[in-house]
Structure 1
């Protein structure tokens, strides 16, 4: 059985819809660059040309709805490509990698939301992904408030964003359970405040983390 390798220079952002991950990602990138570090920002699903095509299959509401198992396997197919083509090469040359979503999303969305077997997700993580971030910031916001924010965007909702509130409550509960189980890696940030306040809290946690890995 393949074990997971923790990558100290790999930082991920997680959270439900409307949590403000993009704003926080930009703030973290700027903070790292001010320290003179090379930073690669990326996202999931996606991060490579092939993985972006898989993203389209997953999120385009005009396609037939995938079964939960299909959704999970497509997510991991995109992630496997992403890790090997983008994340690992950046880490190996000494860069820091900031990623909008990673494997925790599969535990939350496909495990919590779709009710798939967590043990199966863990096996895929070990065999297909092989790495985990050194720090994960979970931007937590209530489902109602988060979905209100998401509806305020100019873009039309993708297939997953069209799910019912019950689905997103299950996703949020799964995220919080993971954070409680892994407090050394996952830090919860109250994302109900203004974007500036949330970004400032996230940067403060980043600076604390940088001191711990220096």
Structure 2
């Protein structure tokens, strides 16, 4: 698996956090800023999803099709979607020297199926090794928000779209509190990769905080210099 990975020249940024933290909005804003500053292609994608097959799996997961089978079955489906996403979109874009910004990636599996869902961390790590290989994010922005606030945002978004809560939004508050703790623990364990962003502020303030982290940690990217590692 890992030996098939193409040479990597682009930059890979992921956004993580609980429900309603604003990851999709901020991924799009960051991509627009980077495109304007550098003139280089930046792809915005998401997990689960990002490729046709992965989007099909996403629909099943968010509808709760795997929930009766437990967190391991869910983690396997997320991994299947991730494998296709990596092979069809993320790795080819990075090999072309493009930027990739992904709304959720490996840390969501660690938090949702692992810490909050109760799946053995060793199993989660084994799935990562097999599926992800060396394709790790250069920077992960963890949007931190109190779960009560995030769920209220998600509910309002769903009402505006005429949709009810999805499989994960419908979990009890305790599940979402464990999620928040898990993401913060990941950030503490990997400070070189992760930056915590206060997502309780308005979208402009959050976007500014994100850009400040990108400028500090990936200055060559922001200046549009050359290619990455």
What TM-score do the two structures reach when normalised by structure 1? 0.93
Report matched runs for 1:9-48 at 5 Å.
9-34=11-36, 35-48=38-51
Uncovered stretches (5+) of structure 2, i.e. residues with no partner: none
Q: Distance in 2 between matches of 1:53 and 1:105?
A: 19
Contact map agreement 1:45 1:51 (CA 8 A) in 2: yes
Structure 2 counterpart of 1:89, from 92, 104, 122: 92
**SS state of the match for residue 78, structure 1?**
helix
Q: Distance in 1 between matches of 2:8 and 2:103?
A: 17
Say which is worse superposed, 56-65 or 138-147, in terms of deviation: 56-65
Contact map agreement 1:11 1:133 (CA 8 A) in 2: yes
The aligned counterpart of 1:207 is: 215
Say which is worse superposed, 38-47 or 21-30, in terms of deviation: 21-30
Deviation of the 1:211 alpha carbon: 1.2
Tell me, yes or no, if structure 1 residue 106 matches structure 2 residue 114. Answer: no
Q: Distance in 2 between matches of 1:73 and 1:22?
A: 24
Contact map agreement 2:145 2:198 (CA 8 A) in 1: yes
Contact map agreement 1:8 1:133 (CA 8 A) in 2: no
The aligned counterpart of 1:65 is: 68
The aligned counterpart of 1:126 is: 129
- The change in CA–CA distance for 1:142 and 1:7 in structure 2 (over 3 A counts) is farther
Uncovered stretches (5+) of structure 1, i.e. residues with no partner: none
Deviation of the 1:104 alpha carbon: 0.5
What TM-score do the two structures reach when normalised by structure 2? 0.87
Deviation of the 1:6 alpha carbon: 9.0
Tell me, yes or no, if structure 1 residue 179 matches structure 2 residue 187. Answer: yes
Contact map agreement 1:13 1:25 (CA 8 A) in 2: yes
